Structure 1
Amino acid sequence: MRLHSLIPIIPTNLVSALEDCGIKIDTDLLFFDGTNVELLAKLPPGIVSLRELEEYTSLVAEHASAPAIRADQELEVALLRQRENALNISCGVQELDALVEGFGGGRVFEISGEKGSGKTALALQISLCMLAAHANTAVLWMDTCGDFSLERTLRVASELNIEATSTVLERLQVSLVLNIETAQDLVSELCSSVDTASELGAPRIRCIVIDSITPLLAPSLTAFSAQGHATMSTFMRELRDLARTHYFTFLVVNNTSSYLPHNPDSAFASTTRKPALGPSFTFLTDCTLWLAKSKNIEETEGATSMHVAEVFRSRMTQSKRWCSFKIHRGVLYSTT
């Protein structure tokens, strides 16, 4: 900061005299190589007294310093902003919501489990419940395998008794994403879409589903090159930054790989699988939710399957906690 910009706080004649001595900006004065007495000796007689020079130096330091911020005030503002922006997102099953303290709050959830365990069903139900409960929201669904089913979505919406189904589904945006570059481009567009939606009053994307992330990242993960791991880390950190900044909820579906004789992260000795993409991937999300199907039950109204949801790791809740739920006609229900 130039001393000239502090006039009239600092007298004009003093600023001119200091500039003649080569002291033109605040740091020149504050870090003068010498004492105030030595600096006063360099100035013309009668310009300023030693006491006045010390006072003016203190004023320069005050204006050059960053304003003080109280931590309690910053925390209050941050909590207020979080309350204003965070949505209460539920999957409709009380036990599952309690297991992870709800699916809102600007977090990245990894949903993993074997085929038929209910990963896509859970992500779809969370999305539809959010769209039905919050009229000004939208969901971006990244379909990486080309198997998103509109028929299934309509059936689940009907089973959930969602009113104005067509209006709800208008806010479910499905994009076919076949490589990580396309996924990165879509994520990069999210920030600008938030601002645009706010200006136009359009529904704002609050939930992003990647079903599944495994085909995007697995091909580049090799033991011979670190590039694939760097791409994975960069992409997942970007998701977490966006989740925290804009209070997005990311539901990242992940496939599995073998873990013999059993997975130590599970509370059950019968779990012989683990989430795919390596051990480091789990630490790039906020919560790893593992789903498993326990058995099928034949009922008069159709087949029902019993499932278990388990927290392998979480930044918010205790690990190795679990609950049971059932799936009937594609919809998740409580077992009680």
Structure 2
Amino acid sequence: MRSPPSTSAPAHVDLLFTSALPPHATLSPDTLARLRTLVASHVSAPATSGSYLLQQSRDRKGKRPQRFSTSLEDLDDHIGGGFDSGEIVEVTGPRRSGRTALALYIVLLHLLLHDDKRAALLDTTGSFDAFRCLAILRDVLVPKMYALGGSFAGEDGAEPSAEDLAISVLDRLAVSRVAKSGDALDVLAAEVRSDEKDEVLDMVVVDSLDTLVGGEALASGSAQANANLIAFMRRLATLARSKSAPLTVITVTSLGTPAAKGSHTAPIPPNLPQQPPPLSSLPHPIPLKPALGSTFAYLVDISLVVSPAEPLFGPDDGRDRGFVEVARNKRGETGGMVEFKLEKGVRFEQVD
């Protein structure tokens, strides 16, 4: 006689049961089946069509795609040279881990290297700091480009000062304060259609996405919140993958704190740090919960997990240091990890 399966085994499938509602008496079986299909299409992760993948393959055949740097050389290598136009990228991690700094470096370096491009930043929390961006450009990125032999000389042959060049870059970054997902999509659509500017919009940063789409409701398992998230991401993907004006979209999301006391989570041994790093390749006693749930992972092309180093090395050796890991990559391998240093929230660089 077989013994019953152990109830302590880890679950591989999560099922959500809700109270059943009987169909209306006047609702025909055909109409009910059609409504069920419609609901199912809005609460599941969308698939990528074979024709779209075929067109991507044809577009790239015989030519090297132009990719945008993450600002960290080894991280670029882990994802095949950087980001592609039309990709949706997630930068996730605990608060104060360096995730926003990484997103800012990506967009500011891109604008510095491509003076014919512009970008949009959707600020959902009111935390955007223009002086921080100015310092990143003036004190780090511009001097680094000059040190590498780069030139930003105008028609007169004179090189601009680091501050003047930084200000000209920020002129091409449109920052919008948005609080609703519908407003965010309207802003992006208006930016894409804008004919008043000579530069082409090709990069968007959303900081942070879980605030915009209601991360708390998603974390609680709300079916309506998941449906809203998927509807938003589908419209965002439609904008990003436009054939005439594709966008690289960088979304900043949060990794929540470990489950509260009393929940079904293994206790933390007393000799381990209270907040272990979220990197999937490192051993830690309890995983940190993504703010947008597991479904969101299938809606992005690349997911980068940012983690502070203090839980590994302690408050002294781990200060101002962190890690970035490639947790998901639809077009390549995952698991590559890069260590970085972040000083005063401004100087962000790879540690060799």
TM range (shorter): 0.5 to 0.7
Q: Which residue, out of 105, 109, 123, partners 1:129? A: 109
User: Per the alignment, do residues 82 and 170 of structure 1 end up closer, same or farther by CA in structure 2, a change over 3 Å counting?
Assistant: farther
Offset of 1:288 from its aligned partner?
1.2
Question: Structure 2: how far apart are the matches of 1:316 and 1:111?
Answer: 17
Greater helix share, 1 or 2? 1
Offset of 1:317 from its aligned partner?
2.2
Corresponding residue SS for 1:91: coil
> Are residue 294 (structure 1) and residue 274 (structure 2) matched?
no
> Are residue 117 (structure 1) and residue 97 (structure 2) matched?
yes
Offset of 1:89 from its aligned partner?
1.3
**RMSD of aligned alpha carbons:** 3.1
Structure 2 counterparts to residues 201-212 of structure 1, below 5 A: 202-212=198-208
Structure 2 counterparts to residues 229-268 of structure 1, below 5 A: 229-245=226-242, 246-257=245-256, 258=258, 260-261=265-266, 266-268=280-282
- 8 A contact 1:138–1:172 mirrored in 2: yes
Corresponding residue SS for 1:283: helix
Greater strand share, 1 or 2? 1
Normalising to structure 2: TM-score of the pair?
0.64
Determine the structure 1 residue equivalent to 2:130. 150
Please give the per-residue CA displacement for 1:248-300, whole angstroms capped at 9, x wherever unaligned.
1111000112365589970111263132111101111111110001038879x
Q: Which residue, out of 72, 78, 85, partners 1:93? A: 72
Please give the per-residue CA displacement for 1:71-103, whole angstroms capped at 9, x wherever unaligned.
xx97786237986xx643113210121222302
Determine the structure 2 residue equivalent to 1:104. 84
Question: Structure 1: how far apart are the matches of 2:221 and 2:77?
Answer: 42
- 8 A contact 1:211–1:252 mirrored in 2: yes
Question: Structure 2: how far apart are the matches of 1:123 and 1:130?
Answer: 11
Offset of 1:217 from its aligned partner?
1.3
Corresponding residue SS for 1:160: helix
Corresponding residue SS for 1:89: coil
Determine the structure 2 residue equivalent to 1:333. 349
User: Per the alignment, do residues 322 and 274 of structure 1 end up closer, same or farther by CA in structure 2, a change over 3 Å counting?
Assistant: farther
- 8 A contact 1:108–1:243 mirrored in 2: yes
User: Per the alignment, do residues 222 and 124 of structure 1 end up closer, same or farther by CA in structure 2, a change over 3 Å counting?
Assistant: closer
Please give the per-residue CA displacement for 1:139-161, whole angstroms capped at 9, x wherever unaligned.
10000000100111111112224
Question: Structure 2: how far apart are the matches of 1:190 and 1:161?
Answer: 26
Structure 2 counterparts to residues 213-224 of structure 1, below 5 A: 213-218=209-214, 220-221=217-218
Corresponding residue SS for 1:142: strand
- 8 A contact 2:219–2:293 mirrored in 1: no
Question: Structure 2: how far apart are the matches of 1:131 and 1:224?
Answer: 38
Determine the structure 2 residue equivalent to 1:180. 181
- 8 A contact 1:110–1:252 mirrored in 2: yes
Normalising to structure 1: TM-score of the pair?
0.67
Offset of 1:105 from its aligned partner?
3.4
> Are residue 166 (structure 1) and residue 155 (structure 2) matched?
no
Equivalences, count: 254
Corresponding residue SS for 2:225: helix
User: Per the alignment, do residues 79 and 169 of structure 1 end up closer, same or farther by CA in structure 2, a change over 3 Å counting?
Assistant: same
- 8 A contact 2:134–2:167 mirrored in 1: no
- 8 A contact 1:324–1:335 mirrored in 2: yes
Offset of 1:109 from its aligned partner?
0.6
Question: Structure 1: how far apart are the matches of 2:316 and 2:220?
Answer: 46
Letter in 2 for 1:78: D
Structure 2 counterparts to residues 17-28 of structure 1, below 5 A: none
Letter in 1 for 2:211: P
Determine the structure 1 residue equivalent to 2:331. 316
Corresponding residue SS for 1:274: coil
Question: Structure 2: how far apart are the matches of 1:293 and 1:222?
Answer: 23
Letter in 2 for 1:203: E
Unpaired segments of 5 or more residues in structure 2? 1-53, 143-161, 260-264, 267-275
Q: Identify the structure with bigger relative contact order (alpha carbons < 8 Å, sequence gap 6+).
A: 2
Letter in 1 for 2:200: R
- 8 A contact 2:278–2:288 mirrored in 1: no
Determine the structure 1 residue equivalent to 2:51. none
Corresponding residue SS for 2:78: helix
Question: Structure 2: how far apart are the matches of 1:143 and 1:225?
Answer: 25
- 8 A contact 2:206–2:252 mirrored in 1: yes
Letter in 2 for 1:98: D
Offset of 1:186 from its aligned partner?
1.8
Determine the structure 2 residue equivalent to 1:79. 60
The structure having more radius of gyration, on CA atoms, is 1
Corresponding residue SS for 1:327: strand
Q: Once structures 1 and 2 are overlaid, which stretch shifts more, 97-106 or 205-214?
A: 97-106
Letter in 2 for 1:238: R
